[in-house]
Amino acid sequence: MMKRMSAVLIMVSFCAVTAKSDMLNPVEQTRSVFCEASACSAYEPSESETAFLEAPDFELFDADISTSAHSGSGCGDAQAIQYSDLSAEQITALGRAFAEASGTGNWGMGSAEAESVVDIVFWLEDAATLALTGTLSKWGSPTFLGMDVELTVVGSDPFFLLDISSAPTTLDESWMLERGLYRFQARTEASAHWSETPDEEWAEFDLQLSVVPEPGTLAILLLGGLAARPRSIRGARSRH
For residues 93 and 68, what is the distance between their CA atoms, to the nearest angstrom? 26
CA distances from 97 to 48, 49, 62, 219, 224 (A): 18, 16, 14, 43, 47
User: What's residue 107's pLDDT?
Assistant: 72
CB 205 within 8 A of CB 94: yes
Average pLDDT, rounded, for the chain: 76
Number of domains in the chain: 1
pTM comes to: 0.75
In a domain, 86, yes or no: yes
In a domain, 11, yes or no: no
CB 149 within 8 A of CB 135: no
In a domain, 2, yes or no: no
In a domain, 228, yes or no: no
In a domain, 47, yes or no: yes
Q: For residue 165, what pLDDT band results from cuts at 50, 70 and 90?
A: low
Q: Which residues contact 154 (CB under 8 A, 6 or more apart)?
A: 121, 180, 181, 182, 183
In a domain, 143, yes or no: yes
Q: For residue 144, what pLDDT band results from cuts at 50, 70 and 90?
A: low
Crossing angle of helices 215-239 and 2-21, in 10° steps, is: 140
CA distances from 85 to 29, 94, 96, 208, 239 (A): 11, 9, 15, 10, 47
In a domain, 18, yes or no: no
Is the pLDDT assigned to residue 63 strictly greater than 60?
A: yes
In a domain, 219, yes or no: no
Q: How far is CA 196 from the centre of its chain?
A: 35
Element (H, E) at 177: strand 169-177
- The residue-averaged pLDDT of 80-106 equals 84
Parent domain of 187: 24-213
User: What's residue 128's pLDDT?
Assistant: 92
Q: Which of 12-26, 45-59, 155-169, 177-191 has the highest mean pLDDT?
A: 177-191
For residues 80 and 75, what is the distance between their CA atoms, to the nearest angstrom? 17
User: What's residue 139's pLDDT?
Assistant: 81
